[in-house]
Amino acid sequence: MAEEGESEPESPLWKWLGLTIIVGALGGVLWLIKPYVLDDPFDNTSEVPCSAVASFAGGELPNGASDGRCTERSWTDVQMQGSFRMPRAAVAGWLDSSFPGSRKRDRGPTPSCECDLYLNIQSPPTGAEADAVQITVVYEDSDTAFIHLTAFTV
């Protein structure tokens, strides 16, 4: 027994229990704030139909398009991206009908993407919601072309 004025030593069990509760609470708080610290809280990228991306850019999705993967990301501005494959022989006709004159007027210096054709369209067709459109074309083989289309507002 402890004499008067002396206290009994605390049990180590209470210290470990208290430490466990503190560590658990801290872990819970970190788990809750992790998305805001490590991830982009303004990223609201979502998948959209590729026809919506083409329409936003002022054109139409070409006939025979396949393997489409398209997204929209918006906050203060809108950016829509899409990539798909299409018949190689139809590329020129699709570009001329969807983006008239762009193959002559808007051909920019080819970026380091090693693409076969790069179009930087600063004045999209009438009816486009986008302010600018960028299109890269890569001829994969004698029959297929891979198209990457980016349309955005400024």
Q: Which pLDDT does position 114 carry in this prediction?
A: 80
> What are phi and psi for residue 53, nearest 5 degrees?
-65, -45
Residue 11 structure tokens: 């049990």
Residue type at position 59: G
HSE-CB for 11 with a 13 A CA cutoff = 4
Q: Which pLDDT does position 77 carry in this prediction?
A: 87
* Residue 69: pLDDT over 80: yes
Residue the block writes with tokens 């049990």: 11
Which region holds residue 101: left if phi is over 0, alpha if psi is between -120 and 50, else beta? Answer: left
Neighbours of 103 (CB within 10 A): 16
pLDDT tens-digit series, residues 80-119: 999 999 999 999 999 999 988 887 766 655 667 788 888 8
If pLDDT is split at 50, 70 and 90, which confidence band does 13 have? confident
Residue type at position 39: D
